[in-house]
Structure 1
Amino acid sequence: MKEIPPTPESFGMIAAATDRLLAGLAGLDDRHVGAPSRLPGWTRGHVLSHLARQAPALERLLEWARTGVPTPQYAGRAARDAEIEAGAHRPAGALVADIRETADRFLRTVEELPAPAWQATVRPFTGELCTPRRILVIRIRELELHNVDLDLGYGIADIPEAARQIILDDVLGYYAEADGVPDFVLSDREGALLGRFGTGGPVVSGTTADVLAWLAGRSAGRELHSTAKLPVLPPWL
């Protein structure tokens, strides 16, 4: 499970990802909001609603860390999905304003979290036990990948290298522990090892952007090179 330290650099990475997202939303109108996103079954409105509601959900985990009182990120998947659906059909201006407000509040919360709280143990919606340092990774990952999912011209290759590496490490960590992962070796275009799953299997290589897109389910992997048939991965998250 990828975690990063609560440093000004980490907070700045979240702020910069938020700024890129908001810049891409400039000029968004209600017609654009109702159009399909790259995520099956979700409009852009669903993606935006999810991003807006995720910030206070992660803040609940930070409150857990601060107080020691278990505070779930969501009451359950049905509650989470209903919350996203309820907000997905709002006007574009309301959705963008919600994202801006909740993102600002989230950033203030992490910046003001007391030092001891960063060592506490919490459990995100995905089930792993972690410290709030992982919440920083989750927020960076969600901001960047869902910006891509909006299909507004922002791609995996546009994610800054430092943020892209954090997300790639996180996804690789998931597959290192997931069930049903076939045997294969993963490398970058220069041949540097990125991951080894099982024993043997084909060698899959490509740019870090293309590798991340494939692993995160944002690409079928046609841009990658494989020494045999490209492995079929279990779904990520």
Structure 2
Amino acid sequence: MTEISTAQLMDRLGAAADALTGKLALLSDADVRAATELPGWTRGHVLAHVANVAGAVARQAEYTVRGESIEFYDGGQGGRTQAIEMAAGHGAQEHRAAVDAALARALTVLGGLSQEQWRLPINYRNGVVYDGALALWRELVIHLSDLDLGRGPETWSQEFCLYLVDFLAARVPADTRLKLLPLALAPMTVGDGDHAVSISGMLTDIAAWLAGRTPTMGSLRAEAAADSVDLPALLPWPSALAK
């Protein structure tokens, strides 16, 4: 996928933030307590995580422009887990306030960066601020789908799906090569192993499967040596710090 500009990325972040907060505005306390497909997580866990990620991306940018370095999450992975568990049980209004504040902070900080500052290093996958902003975009779009509020993977844009295919190529096992055959689009190959498997279906379903989510537009079909096979098992999510 061709790298999108920082201005385009800010547009995508703004749209994703608006979509999430628009849905969040409709939730009751009971809605927030409802379970999601993520094991052990309610909507409250998802919302606490989103606020945590947005705050983490913001503080990475804030610190690096001052020439300082700090952990992605306050307290590391243990701090991340603790913060989510402590906030998950909050009511809808508390979640709205936390998510709104974290997103406003992140968008304000990122929107004020110079082009040079977008390339400053941060403590996220040995990357730079741009990578942190991409991660926030990814988190907002995917976790809005996890909330099951009518914005599932079938609503993901072609641009976002192609970005996910590129990012999630790291989930393909070393011995496997996937030939992705999205309907009405050019084939793509991810992985370079000897075991070749073809996956056909809607691009949104392919991206959802690679992201560990349930495809929503139809059945994906997998073939190896002209025979139908099960979808291959994938490696863990390719991130040291964030889902």
What TM-score comes out, normalization by structure 1 length? 0.88
Is 1:223 aligned with 2:222? Answer: no
SS at match of 2:116: helix
Contact 1:140 1:163 in 2 (8 A): no
Corresponding position of 2:55: 56
SS at match of 1:67: coil
Out of 171, 176, 195, which is 1:175 matched to? 171
Corresponding position of 1:98: 98
Matches of 1:26 and 1:224, distance apart in 2 = 34
State the shift of 1:2 in Å: 9.2
Matches of 1:181 and 1:137, distance apart in 2 = 28
Contact 1:217 1:235 in 2 (8 A): no
State the shift of 1:93 in Å: 0.9
Matches of 1:14 and 1:203, distance apart in 2 = 33
SS at match of 1:201: strand
Contact 2:31 2:43 in 1 (8 A): yes
Shift in CA distance, 191/104, structure 1 to aligned 2, threshold 3 Å? closer
Matches of 1:150 and 1:80, distance apart in 2 = 20
Corresponding position of 2:39: 40
Matches of 2:175 and 2:71, distance apart in 1 = 29
Corresponding position of 1:196: 190
Task: Give the residue type in structure 2 aligned to 1:213.
Answer: A
* Alignment RMSD (CA, Å): 2.3
Gaps of 5+ in 1: none
State the shift of 1:104 in Å: 1.2
Task: Give the residue type in structure 2 aligned to 1:57.
Answer: A
Is 1:130 aligned with 2:122? Answer: no
Shift in CA distance, 168/183, structure 1 to aligned 2, threshold 3 Å? closer
Corresponding position of 2:203: 208
Matches of 1:71 and 1:2, distance apart in 2 = 30
Deviates more, 1:75-84 or 1:186-195: 186-195
Q: Deviation per CA, 1:94-133, whole angstroms, max 9, x where unpaired?
A: 1012111211111010011233222222231xxx222211
Q: Deviation per CA, 1:124-164, whole angstroms, max 9, x where unpaired?
A: 1xxx2222111121011000000010112211111233333
Out of 174, 178, 185, which is 1:184 matched to? 178
Matches of 1:10 and 1:183, distance apart in 2 = 30
Corresponding position of 1:78: 78
Corresponding position of 1:158: 155
Contact 2:70 2:123 in 1 (8 A): no
Task: Give the residue type in structure 1 aligned to 2:93.
Answer: G
Matches of 2:32 and 2:81, distance apart in 1 = 18
Contact 1:121 1:129 in 2 (8 A): yes
Is 1:144 aligned with 2:145? Answer: no
SS at match of 1:204: strand
Matches of 2:20 and 2:104, distance apart in 1 = 13
Task: Give the residue type in structure 1 aligned to 2:184.
Answer: E
Contact 1:28 1:92 in 2 (8 A): yes
Across the two proteins, how many residue pairs are aligned to each other? 230
Percentage identity across aligned positions? 31
Contact 2:33 2:43 in 1 (8 A): yes
What TM-score comes out, normalization by structure 2 length? 0.86
Matches of 2:54 and 2:190, distance apart in 1 = 33
